[in-house]
Amino acid sequence: MKLLFFSLISFLIVLNLDAQVFAPNDAVWHYTYDPDITLDDGYQRVEVSGDTVIDQYNCKVLSTTNVGYNYFNQEYYEFAGEKIIIYEEDSIVYYLKSDNFYVLYDFAAKTGDSYTSICYPGHCDSTFRVTIDSISYVEHNLDSLQKFHISINDEVTSFYYVEKLGYSEYILPMFNIGCEELTGPNYPGPLRCYQDGILGLYSTGVTNDCDYITGVKKSPQDSKFSLYPNPVRVSMQLSAEDDQVYSYEIRDCYGRLITGDTFHRETRIQVANYIKGLYFVTLRRNQTPIGTRKFLKY
């Protein structure tokens, strides 16, 4: 009888562990963000930090931390962001927004099922309808994770969420539905890494590692040219260390080509008419990239 009792208890514990498909206590997400008008490179870390009870629901508290580098101040920073409140029941995850709980993920959904959710950005209260178009699988180590391909408001989209990981852009829905979709601190994405004690480390390959900050990789020859002053208001000097002919191109933070030219040893670039923001200068010799520099137009 005792053996049966303890076997039953063990079985119930296993069932309870299996039921927890999202945000175990040691779960950590890293979301990258790209330079925007805030002129930041870095990432947001999301991790389970505690428990709370709201409206009789046993909820988890997820803490967010922004870690990055600001090109205007030329300083690294780390600061705490907002708290995210979620709870899970029957493989459906809910999150708290505007004093109400909304479906965040339905990991029990089948093809054709639908539910109503709400956008994340604080200024946006647009609800939307999620429909499960199909379900595939993502293999990681010995785990097979369900990948839910979805439509938003019955429109054909390429959005999806993955069991344990969540959306590919951010843990909360950030769809451009009646509100502006932003990037940078407090508006991160896409997912870099996810890790917990059972699944292990899952990396999307967005960056070299989970804590990677600097957005431009330097080549071995990158030190062979300089750009000054930086930040710049009117004009700047682009100089190479050797007596060769180079070409350069300047792109904005969205990757759009602004201008380009060739030069010998050094050249002066006029930026007075540029819109304030972050830009990238790529230097080439014989069509081979030598390196990339960032500069701030103020």
CA distance 97 to 159: 21
Cα distances (Å, whole numbers) of residue 188 to 56, 147, 202, 246, 252: 31, 21, 18, 36, 19
**Cα atoms in the Cβ-side hemisphere of radius 13 Å centred on 284:** 12
Model-level pTM greater than 0.75? no
pLDDT of residue 220: 47
CA distance 187 to 212: 17
Tell which phi-psi region holds residue 277, choosing left (phi > 0), alpha (psi between -120 and 50) or beta.
Answer: left
Tell me the mean pLDDT per 10 residues along the chain, length 298: 44 42 93 67 92 95 90 78 94 94 96 93 80 95 91 86 93 74 67 92 86 60 74 91 88 82 93 88 82 81
The one-letter amino acid at 276? K
pLDDT of residue 72: 64
Alpha helices by DSSP H, listed for the chain, are 2-19
pLDDT of residue 186: 61
Which tokens sit at 261? 């030219």
Domains, the chain, in order of start with CATH, read 23-203 (no CATH), 222-297 (2.60.40.2550)
Helix (H, G, I), strand (E, B) or coil at 285: strand
